[in-house]
């Protein structure tokens, strides 16, 4: 019997301590600029083609640079150009020609190695290797036994960070009709099976609003030391929200194990975005990323626990009857009813609709239609050069 396999990818971020040649960043950006110009002028979206057309020329121009920097720059240029085309098609691109101004370098396994026991990284530079100490980071037990993939070297001000992608192939159980669906809302997460739905209040908006107001207060009376304070608040806010994500994700996995479910059903977020547009002001900016981030946490935890993860279309899940498919009408506080006699809480309705869609939808998409939350092996090589947090 074939055992279903899934690749879990997680990114760890380490702050680095040690001297690193400044010039490498500017050289890399220069190369990236030339590659972007070329990709843009010729409409090159394939990494192989970009490499074939530019590698030798760049190799000759920068002979002392380790050659793999040119490879990774080709990958980055390719993915930056592709995403700029996508933005342009959607009509939201700022500039005609894609530009990249950030201090970011992509590293492959020829360009760096990690020594997690000794908390050190070794990075290739012109004429040898530089050893740097890993300071505090997000390295955690969960990365143990995972394979080290590519990485990004990121410079912010005078600080240097190394973001490393860890991956692991896990065995997941054979899919059956038993699943736990997850409905994410602004202030609560509802999840469960046809038999039982649990509703957890997230208080995320309360936390975010409190910190938003705190920051605004701080900015309205400028002081010399406001920057570190702002950063401190931002860090605290992120950690508090992330702690909530992890707690709820664990509850979801427990529920799935208890129900002997094979699959976690998540909503395709394309429609959630549309929903959010209605209440833009605070919400759009504060919540857009967090739904996605929460799903990512659920997804990797589920896969590490041997569960399958599928995304189903969330359109109409809170307005249609999960029994007959008819349109529901409001019946008091958060209650919805149908002409067929069905009546339920709106969170329960959403969860049941997601479950029903999963059960009907044999071809449920295993990855998020907007691009996988965690890059999987099926991706084109170009996509590997992409990390949403960096672009
Ligand atoms: Zn009905």
| Distance in Å, CA 326 to ligand 1 centroid | 5
Say what the pLDDT of residue 274 is: 53
| Distance in Å, CA 327 to ligand 1 centroid | 7
| Distance in Å, CA 342 to ligand 1 centroid | 5
| Distance in Å, CA 356 to ligand 1 centroid | 13
Residue 325 zone, left/alpha/beta (φ > 0; ψ -120 to 50; rest): left
| Distance in Å, CA 115 to ligand 1 centroid | 59
| Distance in Å, CA 268 to ligand 1 centroid | 23
Final residue belonging to a domain, choices 110, 136, 170: 170
Residue 88 maps to a domain: yes
Final residue belonging to a domain, choices 152, 170, 188: 170
Judge if 240 and 310 occupy the same domain: yes
Look up the pTM and report it: 0.74
Judge if 158 and 300 occupy the same domain: no
Judge if 157 and 108 occupy the same domain: yes
| Distance in Å, CA 195 to ligand 1 centroid | 18
Distance, CA of 183 to chain centre: 18
CA distance 282 to 382: 35
The dihedrals phi and psi of 285, each to the nearest 5 degrees, come to: -70, -40
| Distance in Å, CA 332 to ligand 1 centroid | 17
How many structural domains are present in the chain? 2
Distance, CA of 210 to chain centre: 25
Residue 265 maps to a domain: yes
Say what the pLDDT of residue 67 is: 94
- Average pLDDT per 10 consecutive residues for the chain, totaling 391 residues: 79 86 92 95 94 96 95 95 84 72 92 89 90 78 84 90 92 90 88 94 78 78 68 80 90 96 89 51 51 89 94 87 91 89 92 92 46 35 40 37
Judge if 98 and 235 occupy the same domain: no
Judge if 220 and 295 occupy the same domain: yes
| Distance in Å, CA 335 to ligand 1 centroid | 14
| Distance in Å, CA 183 to ligand 1 centroid | 20
Helix (H, G, I), strand (E, B) or coil at 119: coil
Judge if 264 and 209 occupy the same domain: yes
Where would I find the H helices in the chain? 22-42, 47-61, 68-89, 204-220, 226-258, 270-277, 283-304, 346-360
Counting other chains too, the contacts that 115-124 makes at CB distance below 8 Å and 24 or more residues apart are 116/143, 121/14, 121/16, 121/162, 123/20, 123/153, 124/66, 124/68
Judge if 341 and 198 occupy the same domain: yes
Residue 230 maps to a domain: yes
Tokens 């007959």 label which residue?
Answer: 324
Residue 380 maps to a domain: no
| Distance in Å, CA 343 to ligand 1 centroid | 8
| Distance in Å, CA 276 to ligand 1 centroid | 26
Judge if 151 and 90 occupy the same domain: yes
Residue 319 maps to a domain: yes
User: CA dist 231 to 215, 225, 340, 346, Å?
Assistant: 10, 11, 54, 38
| Distance in Å, CA 319 to ligand 1 centroid | 11
Residue 369 maps to a domain: no
Judge if 137 and 282 occupy the same domain: no
| Distance in Å, CA 353 to ligand 1 centroid | 12
Judge if 219 and 355 occupy the same domain: yes
Residue 32 maps to a domain: yes
The dihedrals phi and psi of 9, each to the nearest 5 degrees, come to: -120, 135
Say what the pLDDT of residue 386 is: 41
| Distance in Å, CA 328 to ligand 1 centroid | 7
| Distance in Å, CA 136 to ligand 1 centroid | 54
Pairing of strands 104-107, 343-345: unpaired
CA distance 132 to 161: 11
| Distance in Å, CA 338 to ligand 1 centroid | 5
| Distance in Å, CA 312 to ligand 1 centroid | 21
| Distance in Å, CA 264 to ligand 1 centroid | 25
Judge if 165 and 187 occupy the same domain: no
| Distance in Å, CA 331 to ligand 1 centroid | 14
The boundaries of the domain holding residue 80 are: 5-170
| Distance in Å, CA 349 to ligand 1 centroid | 11
| CB 31, CB 73: distance < 8 Å | yes
CA distance 228 to 358: 47
Judge if 97 and 141 occupy the same domain: yes
Rg (Cα) of the chain, in Å, rounded?
Answer: 23
Residue 366 maps to a domain: no
Pairing of strands 179-184, 128-137: unpaired
| Distance in Å, CA 20 to ligand 1 centroid | 65
Q: What is the CATH number of the domain that holds 187?
A: 3.30.420.60
């Amino acid at each position: 019997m074939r055992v279903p396999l899934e690749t879990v990818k997680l990114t760890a971020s380490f702050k680095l301590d040690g001297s690193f040649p400044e010039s490498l960043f500017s050289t890399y950006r220069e190369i990236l600029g030339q590659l972007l110009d070329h990709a843009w002028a010729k409409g090159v979206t394939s990494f192989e083609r970009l490499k074939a057309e530019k590698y030798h020329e760049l190799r000759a121009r920068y002979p002392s640079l380790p050659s793999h920097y040119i490879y990774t720059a080709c990958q980055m240029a390719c993915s930056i150009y592709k995403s700029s085309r996508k933005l342009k098609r959607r009509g939201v691109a700022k500039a005609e020609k894609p530009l990249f101004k950030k201090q970011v370098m992509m590293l492959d396994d020829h360009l760096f190695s990690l020594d997690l026991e000794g908390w050190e990284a070794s990075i290739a530079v012109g004429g040898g290797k530089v050893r740097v100490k890993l300071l505090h980071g997000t390295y955690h037990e969960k990365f143990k036994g995972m394979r080290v993939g590519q990485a990004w070297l990121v410079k912010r001000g005078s600080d240097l960070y190394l973001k490393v992608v860890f991956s692991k192939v896990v065995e997941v159980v054979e899919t059956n009709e038993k699943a736990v669906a997850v409905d994410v809302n602004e202030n609560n997460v509802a999840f469960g099976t046809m038999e039982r739905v649990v509703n957890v209040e997230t208080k995320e908006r309360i936390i975010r609003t409190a910190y938003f107001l705190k920051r605004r207060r701080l900015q309205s009376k400028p002081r010399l030391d406001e920057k570190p304070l702002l950063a401190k608040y931002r860090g605290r806010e992120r950690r508090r929200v992330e702690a909530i994500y992890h707690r709820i994700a664990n509850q979801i996995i427990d529920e799935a194990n208890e129900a002997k479910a094979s699959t976690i059903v998540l909503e395709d977020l394309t429609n959630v975005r549309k929903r959010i547009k209605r209440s833009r002001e605070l919400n759009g900016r504060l919540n857009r990323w967090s739904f996605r981030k929460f799903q990512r946490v659920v997804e990797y935890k589920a896969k590490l626990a041997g569960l399958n993860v599928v995304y189903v279309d969330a359109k109409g899940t809170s307005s249609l009857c999960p029994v007959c498919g008819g349109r529901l009408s409001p019946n008091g506080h958060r209650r919805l009813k149908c002409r067929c006699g069905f009546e339920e809480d709106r969170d329960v309705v959403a969860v049941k609709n997601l479950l029903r869609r999963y059960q009907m939808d044999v071809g449920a998409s295993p990855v998020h239609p907007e691009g996988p939350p965690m890059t999987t092996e099926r991706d084109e090589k170009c996509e590997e050069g992409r990390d949403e947090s960096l672009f």
